[in-house]
Structure 1
Amino acid sequence: MAVTTKSLGNIRRSFDPWNDPAQKPLIEVDGVTKRFGDFTAVNDLTLHIYTREFFALLGPSGCGKSTLLRMLAGFETPTSGDIRLDGKSLVGIPPHQRPLNMMFQSYALFPHMTVEKNIAFGLKQDGMAKSEISDRVAEMLKLVKLTPFAKRKPQQLSGGQQQRVALARSLAKRPKVLLLDEPLGALDKKLREETQFELMDLQQDLGLTFIVVTHDQEEAMVMADRIALMREGRIAQVAPPAVIYEAPSNRYVADFIGHVSLLDGTVEGRRNGLLRLAAAGTIVEAEASADLQPGTPASFAIRPEKVKITRQAPADPSINALRGQIWDIAYFGDVTQFNVKLASGDIVRATTINALRSAAEPLTWDDDVWLTFAPDAGIVLTS
C-alpha cells in the first residue's frame, strides 16, 4: 500500500533536483564573502542553483542580494570563496565572456535606437552575421509579442513594453543563465502581476535558468521554484515558496514572508502527542516534532487565514482559543483582515474569505470576538 505524505501547498510543477543526490548543480556559490572596506555585504555564503530552475534572491534593502547577483554577472569580484558554473570557476572571468546575461532594473535601453536595434546590439558586438541577427531579432520580437513595435523607440513604448524589450535583448544571446535585477519594479501593480506569469511561461518554454533579485515577497512566491531569503549577507532559509511560508525555519523568515502572528510563551510539555505552550493567556496545543523540554522559551507562529474568528465562544475556551476585541479592519474585496487585540496586549490577525456579497451580522470595530485554530494550523519556533 502506497504511503501518502502531506504536501506544503499546491505544487506548480514536479521539479525538485535539489532533493536528488544524483543531480549536480549548475551554479555553485561556495563560501563567498564580499567586503567593501569595513562593510561585509555577503558573508561566507554557500548556495546551489540547478539547471532550468527559477530561483529568487529575496530580502530587504542592504541584505546582499544584489551584490551576490553582481558577483554572478562578473561586475564584482568575491573577496574570498568561489563561484562555479558547470563546475568551472567564474572568478576572474570578465562579464562579456560569461555564458550568462543580466537584465537591469532600469532596463538600460538605448533611447536613440529602435526596438529591433536595441535587441540586436549585443549580437552585433559579438560579430554575428547580419542574416543571423535579423532572424534572431525576429524570433525575440515574436517571443515577447512586440513584432508590431519593432521600428519604435523606447520612449514610444509603455513601461511594460520597455520591460519586454530589455528581456528580449537579454535573451537574444541565448545565455545559459539569465540574471534579473528587480525586473518588474518599474511596473504598476496589475501589469506586474500579469508579467510575473509571462516570465514564468517564458522561462519554461526556453528551458533556461532564471535568477531574480527582488524585495517583493509576492513576486518571489509567485515566480520562483525556490527562494533564498537573505539577511545581513547570509541566507536565512532556502526552500520552495510553500515551505518558506508554511514551515519557516525561524522568526525572521516567518515575519518577513506574508502576515503572521507570533505568540511568545513557554513550553509546558506534551499531551496526546501535541506540544503544549503557555502563550498569550491560553494553552496552545500544536503539532511539533522537536523534543522541547518544559520551560523552554518558544513562539507559536500562525498565519491569518488559519485563524477562525467568531462571536461565539468555543466548546473549550482554554485550548487554542483567544478572546479579544476587534482593533482594526482591512477590507480587500476578496478577503477581510481583522486585527484583534487580546487582553495581553498582543495583536492577532484573522482573515476571512468574502465568499458572499453580503453578511447578515458583519463583524465591526470594538466587537468582542473569539479566535480559534487547529493544532496543525501554525508552527512552533525557538529562534
Structure 2
Amino acid sequence: MAAKAVGPVKRSFAPWRDPASAPFIEFRNVTKRFGDFVAVDDLTLTIYEREFFALLGPSGCGKTTLMRMVAGFDEPTVGEVLLDGQNLAGVPPYRRPTNMMFQSYALFPHMTVEANIAFGLKQDRMPKADIATRVEEMLALVKLTPFAKRKPHQLSGGQKQRVALARSLARKPKVLLLDEPLGALDKKLREDTQFELVDLQQKLGLTFLIVTHDQEEAMTVADRVAVMDQGRIIQVATPAEVYEQPNSRYVADFIGDINLLEGRITVCNDGFIRLDCGVGGGTVEVDQTMDATPGENGWFAIRPEKMTLSLDPPENPTVNCIAGDVWDIGYLGDVSIYHVRLAGGATVKATVTNRTRLVERPISWDDKVWLTWPRDAGIVLTR
C-alpha cells in the first residue's frame, strides 16, 4: 500500500486555535538566571500534544535553556514548567517522559549501532527479548537494518544522525527534544532529513520540540515557531504567519530577506494605510488593518520575491514604485538576486526567478530599473 501524505493531517492540526485544547507543555512566567545573567526573562509559552514546535533565535537568546528546563538539566529560578499537567519541579531527568537528541549525537564509539540503540533500554532493565524487538523496530524505522552491526566510525554523518534519533525514540518518550539535530550535516542531506523528521513525527504521533538558529529548518519542520531574542519570545505563529505577517522589524529581519522602507504614516483607516517614504521610497499604499495614527513613523516591509523588476517605467510611477540602478547581482541558479541602489542611497533587494536558461542577462549591472508591487504584497510595521 502506498504511503499516505501528511498534508491532510497538517492542514487540520491547529489545537492552539481551540480554546478547549489543553496545553501539553507549559512555561508559566519562567525566569532563569545564571548569576547576574538573565537567560530567560518572565516567559510564558504553551505547546500542544503531537505538535512539532520550534524555538528559533540567535545564539544566547535562551532557546536551549528552555529545552534544558523541560529535560530537567536546569530548573527555573522563578516560575513553573508543566508537562501533561504535572509540575516538573524536582523531577529528575531520568524520571521525565522526555528524551533529548544532541547535535553531537554522543554515540558510544566502541558499541555497534544496535548496541547504541539498546543502551537506554538496558538501563531501564527492559527484558532482553523486548529489547531485541524494540531495537529491530527502531532500525526499521530509520532504515538502518543493514547497518546494525557497524560501529559509528563506519557510518556517514547522516547515518550517525539516524542512530542518535533511533536511540532517542527507543524508550518511547512523550516528548522528543532536538537540540540543533541537523547542524553537523551538509546542506543537501540536511534538507532531505528535515522532511524525514516531519514524516517520522507524524507517524509516531509524538510531541517534538526543536531548538535551532536555522530559519529554513524551523520553517520546514515546525507547526509553529517561537522567535526569541534576549530571553523573551517576540512572536509565536505558524511559519507562514511569521514570514508573511511578522509583528516587528526584528522578526521580519530575522526570518528570510526583507526590505524595510522607513516613512511617515499619512492615512490609516478602513483597512488601508498610506506611507510617505520620502526620497527614493515615494508613496506606499498597503491593504492592511492596524492601530496607527497619521503622523506616526512606520516601516514598510516587503520580501524581495514580492517585487517586480523591470527596465520599463510603470503607468503610475508615483505609488508602490521605486526606481534605482542595479548595483550588484547574485546568481543562485534557480533565482537571481538584484541589489538596487535608490536615489536616497539606500539599497533594496529584488528576486527574479530564472525560468529560462540564461544566455544573456536581460537586466544587468548599472541598468536603470523600476521596482513595483501590489498593495497586498507587504506590511507596515510600527515597532
Range of TM-score over shorter length: over 0.9
The answer to whether the aligner puts 1:115 opposite 2:113 as a matched pair is yes
Q: Are residues 327 and 115 of structure 1, via their aligned partners in 2, closer, same or farther at CA, if it must alter by over 3 Å?
A: same
Question: For the residues of structure 2 that align with 1:327 and 1:210, how far apart are their CA atoms?
Answer: 44
Report the equivalent of 1:76: 74
Structure 2 residue matching 1:364: 3-state secondary structure: coil
Report the equivalent of 1:349: 349
Report the equivalent of 1:4: none
Structure 2 residue matching 1:196: 3-state secondary structure: helix
1:183 to 170, 173, 181: 181
1:344: how far off?
A: 1.1
Question: For the residues of structure 2 that align with 1:183 and 1:358, how far apart are their CA atoms?
Answer: 37
Structure 2 residue matching 1:124: 3-state secondary structure: helix
1:247 to 236, 245, 248: 245
Report the equivalent of 2:338: 338
Equivalent residues of 2:272, 2:289 under 8 A apart? no
Deviations 1:185-227 (A, max 9, x none): 0000000000001100000000000000000000000000000
Q: Are residues 86 and 272 of structure 1, via their aligned partners in 2, closer, same or farther at CA, if it must alter by over 3 Å?
A: closer
Equivalent residues of 1:263, 1:280 under 8 A apart? no
Kindly report which structure 2 residues correspond to 1:23-102, keeping only aligned pairs within 5 A, or say none: 23-102=21-100
Amino acid in structure 2 at the alignment position of 1:200: V
Equivalent residues of 1:122, 1:169 under 8 A apart? yes
Deviations 1:158-191 (A, max 9, x none): 0000000000000000000000000000000000
Equivalent residues of 2:28, 2:43 under 8 A apart? yes
Question: For the residues of structure 2 that align with 1:109 and 1:361, how far apart are their CA atoms?
Answer: 50
The answer to whether the aligner puts 1:294 opposite 2:294 as a matched pair is yes
1:12: how far off?
A: 4.6
1:359: how far off?
A: 6.3
Structure 2 residue matching 1:13: 3-state secondary structure: helix
Question: For the residues of structure 2 that align with 1:65 and 1:270, how far apart are their CA atoms?
Answer: 37
Q: Are residues 339 and 280 of structure 1, via their aligned partners in 2, closer, same or farther at CA, if it must alter by over 3 Å?
A: farther
Report the equivalent of 1:152: 150
TM-score of the superposition, structure 1-length normalised? 0.96
Question: For the residues of structure 1 that align with 2:212 and 2:44, how far apart are their CA atoms?
Answer: 19
Question: For the residues of structure 1 that align with 2:270 and 2:339, how far apart are their CA atoms?
Answer: 31
Structure 2 residue matching 1:220: 3-state secondary structure: helix
1:112: how far off?
A: 0.5
The answer to whether the aligner puts 1:277 opposite 2:275 as a matched pair is yes
Indicate the percent of aligned positions where both proteins have the same amino acid.
64
TM-score of the superposition, structure 2-length normalised? 0.96
Q: Are residues 120 and 11 of structure 1, via their aligned partners in 2, closer, same or farther at CA, if it must alter by over 3 Å?
A: closer
1:11: how far off?
A: 9.8
Equivalent residues of 2:69, 2:75 under 8 A apart? yes
- The runs of 5 or more residues in structure 1 that have no matched partner are 1-9
Deviations 1:25-67 (A, max 9, x none): 1111111110000000001111100011000000000000011
Equivalent residues of 1:54, 1:225 under 8 A apart? yes
Report the equivalent of 1:363: 363
Structure 2 residue matching 1:62: 3-state secondary structure: coil
1:280: how far off?
A: 4.5
Equivalent residues of 2:327, 2:339 under 8 A apart? yes
1:275: how far off?
A: 1.0
Corresponding pairs, count: 374
Amino acid in structure 2 at the alignment position of 1:334: D
1:272: how far off?
A: 8.3
CA RMSD of aligned residues (A): 1.4
Q: Are residues 103 and 370 of structure 1, via their aligned partners in 2, closer, same or farther at CA, if it must alter by over 3 Å?
A: same
Structure 1 residue matching 2:11: 3-state secondary structure: coil
The answer to whether the aligner puts 1:312 opposite 2:312 as a matched pair is yes
Question: For the residues of structure 2 that align with 1:92 and 1:294, how far apart are their CA atoms?
Answer: 53
Q: Are residues 271 and 139 of structure 1, via their aligned partners in 2, closer, same or farther at CA, if it must alter by over 3 Å?
A: closer
- The runs of 5 or more residues in structure 2 that have no matched partner are 1-7
Between 1:342-351 and 1:250-259, the stretch displaced more is 342-351
Question: For the residues of structure 2 that align with 1:113 and 1:360, how far apart are their CA atoms?
Answer: 57
1:273: how far off?
A: 5.3
Question: For the residues of structure 2 that align with 1:280 and 1:377, how far apart are their CA atoms?
Answer: 20
Kindly report which structure 2 residues correspond to 1:155-234, keeping only aligned pairs within 5 A, or say none: 155-234=153-232
Structure 2 residue matching 1:330: 3-state secondary structure: strand
Q: Are residues 316 and 31 of structure 1, via their aligned partners in 2, closer, same or farther at CA, if it must alter by over 3 Å?
A: same
Equivalent residues of 2:268, 2:293 under 8 A apart? no
Question: For the residues of structure 1 that align with 2:214 and 2:51, how far apart are their CA atoms?
Answer: 19
Deviations 1:217-271 (A, max 9, x none): 0000000000000000000100000000000000000000000000000011158
1:347: how far off?
A: 1.1
